[in-house]
Amino acid sequence: MISRRAFSAGLLACLGGCATHHESGPSSDLPDIGAGYRPDPKSDEAGLWLKLDKVEQNQRRSPGRIRDKPINDLVQDMVCRLAGAYCPDLRPYVIRVPAFNATCAPNGMISIWSGLLLRCHSESQLAAVLGHEIGHYLKRHSLQRLRNSRELDDFAAFFQFQLQGPAAGLIRGLSQDITQASKSMFSRDHEREADALGLALMADAGYAPAACADIWRHIKAEDAAGGESERFDFFLSTHPATTERIDNLDELARRRPPAARPAPDRLNAALGPLRRSFMADEINQGHFKRTDNLLTRLIGDGIDPGGALFYRGELYRRRNRDGDEAIALGNYHDACETADPPAEAFRGVGTIRWRRGETELAREYFRRYLRVAPNADDGDMIRKYLSGA
């Protein structure tokens, strides 16, 4: 799995002296999975698949599942590009949870959280994550862990959790069961192996291999901004692990020759307006520094700068400390000047001006808001501001 959090939890478990967790090296006794594989009905693996199939059935109808066709089509197409002959065995689901996470269950169900999509700047970065997950699948890492841990119910619970997603506010406080399950998920060796295999798969498919380290650099920067390392200081910092991962991926990418036929970059077109709804979910979590780091990076890299500037304005307006109002106003203004401004950015400028008693400036922007969004459902309220009442 790709989650930074669970990865560090695994390390914590290691420090805590859990002997079972890291005894198996990469590619241990199990053969790689074959295309079209089904487990022997009498095996423990079949029992796990049965549980996971039930989880998958329930979640197929879940309201948390994002059903928009363009992004689902893209993810499905990418899985096929990356997995080749294994494509029919893998079923990706996009889940609305504002956190960086993806998993691939042993029965071929892949879950991708919306917070991960928000943090991918390109199709290659998303391919890096999907390649990593497919790597775990091909190497049957979950089954190796299961054989080591014998925690069938925890396993099923873990993947259930991956699909349902926790509440936004819950992400920092995973329940005890799930924490246990994620601790016993993958060893560092498995992660390293999935990283290497994932990079090979995505580079073979024509994606830019440098993207693998880039996505982890984003996460490292967000962790640092959010003070995540301090949180774990008493035990260990997560950063050496991430840094090591980045170095390994950089080295592997350097060894790849340039792609003969570069893959397309369709991510931003496929996400479309979804990206802004993911930004809205992100700011609703109530993290400030981490979200500011993310939005600032999106603005800097030109990933929907109109949306990112507007939501950065919202982030500061909501916090409302000294100086925040001016920063919010500046971001709304900048958003208005982009090629694709959200209508709400004009309303944002109007709101701050109105608060300050700058009535005529506020009205100018409320009028612009109505011009951009003539059918806005808050039109009556806006017209009240304009009426001079």
Partner 1 sequence: MIRLVSLLLLLLAAGCTPYRLIPAGKVEFTDHGSVETPIDWNWRPIDTVHTWTLDGPNLQEMLFHLGIEDGKTLMNALDVESGFNPLLVWFGKVPDEVSFRFHKRMTEHEIMDLFTASMSKITESPVVASGLMPADLGGHQGFRFDYAFVGKDEVRRRGFAVGAVVKDKLYLIHYVGTALYHYDRNRADAERVAASFVFAGKD
List of residues contacting Zn ion (CB under 5 A): 1, 191, 194
Report CA torsion sign: 362, 309, 227, 9. Answer: positive
Q: Which stretch binds partner 1 (CB under 8 A): 122-130, 205-213, 299-307, 379-387?
A: 379-387
Length of the chain counted residue by residue: 389
Instruction: Please report whether residue 287 would count as binding partner 1 according to CB under 8 A.
Output: yes
φ and ψ of 157, to 5 deg:
-60, -40
Instruction: Please report whether residue 375 would count as binding partner 1 according to CB under 8 A.
Output: no
Indicate which single residue of 180, 243, 268, 284 sits in contact with partner 1 (rule: CB under 8 A): 284
How many residues at the interface with partner 1, by CB under 8 A? 37
Among Zn ion, partner 1, none, residue 175 binds (CB under 5-8 Å by kind): partner 1
Instruction: Please report whether residue 167 would count as binding partner 1 according to CB under 8 A.
Output: yes
Among partner 1, Zn ion, none, residue 94 binds (CB under 5-8 Å by kind): none
Instruction: Please report whether residue 326 would count as binding partner 1 according to CB under 8 A.
Output: no
Closest CA to 340 of 265, 264, 267, 269: 269
Instruction: Please report whether residue 150 would count as binding partner 1 according to CB under 8 A.
Output: no
CB atoms under 10 Å from CB of 322, counted, come to 6
What is the full DSSP assignment across 164-207?
H---GGGTTS--HHHHHHHHTS--HHHHHHHHHHHHHHHHHTT-
Residue whose CB is less far from partner 1, 43 or 62: 62
Indicate which single residue of 34, 84, 273, 286 sits in contact with partner 1 (rule: CB under 8 A): 286
Task: Scan residues 28-67 and list those touching partner 1 (CB under 8 A).
Answer: 62-63
Residue 178: HSE in the Cβ half-sphere, 13 Å Cα cutoff: 18
Residue whose CB is less far from Zn ion, 102 or 335: 102
Instruction: Please report whether residue 359 would count as binding partner 1 according to CB under 8 A.
Output: no
User: Taking the complex as a whole, how short is the minimal distance between the CB of residue 229 and partner 1, in angstroms?
Assistant: 11
Instruction: Please report whether residue 340 would count as binding partner 1 according to CB under 8 A.
Output: no
Give the contacts of 228 (CB within 8 A, at least 6 positions apart). 222, 238, 290
Instruction: Please report whether residue 68 would count as binding partner 1 according to CB under 8 A.
Output: no
| C-alpha–C-alpha distance, residues 278 and 205, integer Å | 28
Strands 102-104 and 91-95: unpaired
On whether the CB atoms of residues 1 and 186 are closer than 8 A, the answer is yes
User: Taking the complex as a whole, how short is the minimal distance between the CB of residue 135 and Zn ion, in angstroms?
Assistant: 8
| C-alpha–C-alpha distance, residues 116 and 1, integer Å | 12
Residues binding partner 1 (CB under 8 A): 62-63, 96, 167-170, 173, 175, 225-227, 230-231, 280-281, 283-284, 286-290, 314, 317-320, 347, 351, 354-355, 377-378, 380-381, 384
